[in-house]
Amino acid sequence: MSNHPKIRARAADNRAFPIIVFSLATAIALGIAMLPFAAKAAGSDSGSSGGSGYTVAAASKEMRKATVMIKNEDYAGALSFLEAEIAKNPDNADAWNLTGFASRKLGDYAASEVAYDKALAIDPKHKGALEYKGELYLTLGNLEGAENMFDRLNKVCFLSCKEKKQLAAAIRTYKKAN
């Protein structure tokens, strides 16, 4: 090897090239490998908030009607369809979650909590139920309960999810007001 500074620098660059290529290839491979998980985390809309958040494409007639009624803020009307859905499919965590949401909006906090608990018993990682139960706790003045729901959402949401963002915003608003 030559002692000329430019030739030594070029040789060092040539030795670093395989390391750089390997690093980039590894980063790309990891990114590709994580796509299914990121897509699932971003795309799963299991009982999320913002009205109902329930995906109605493959839903039963009762769930579709209840979702429309919730979007139109007809919570009492939605409950009758949700009760019919739960009678047919008692393990439908989305139906229990929406029952909790509609009950909470009607001021029936005890029924709301029971419904969220049932949704979470069926699916402990149900993002919508975790968020909504946190919001219920804030309504009841239970900041610690809301923060516990937020902690659970933190574990469920791979990167971030709208339920976590919305509950975080509700907690911030609650803290400012109290």
pLDDT per position as a tens digit, 91-147? 999 999 999 999 999 999 999 999 999 999 999 999 999 999 999 999 999 999 999
What is the CATH number for 124?
1.25.40.10
Taken in order 122, 114, 152, 136, the sign of the CA dihedral is positive
Q: Count of domains in the chain?
A: 2
- Residues 78, 119 share a domain: yes
In a domain, 53, yes or no: no
pLDDT per position as a tens digit, 43-87? 334 443 334 444 444 689 999 999 999 999 999 999 999 999 999
Would you put residue 140 in left (φ > 0), alpha (ψ -120 to 50) or beta?
alpha
pLDDT per position as a tens digit, 158-169? 788 999 999 999
Give me the pLDDT at residue 59, please. 83
In a domain, 151, yes or no: yes
- Residues 118, 88 share a domain: yes
- Residue in the block written with tokens 């299914």: 36
In a domain, 2, yes or no: yes
Give me the pLDDT at residue 123, please. 97
Q: Kindly give, in sequence order, each residue whose CB lies less than 8 Å from that of residue 159, ignoring residues fewer than 6 positions away.
A: 38, 41, 42
In a domain, 129, yes or no: yes
> For the residues of 72-124, what is the DSSP string, one character each?
TT-HHHHHHHHHHHHHH-TT-HHHHHHHHHHHHHTT-HHHHHHHHHHHHHH-T
The residue segments making up the domain with residue 153 are: 61-177
Residue 11 has pLDDT above 90, yes or no: no
pLDDT per position as a tens digit, 28-46? 555 554 444 443 333 334 4
Nearest to 127 by CA among 116, 137, 136: 116
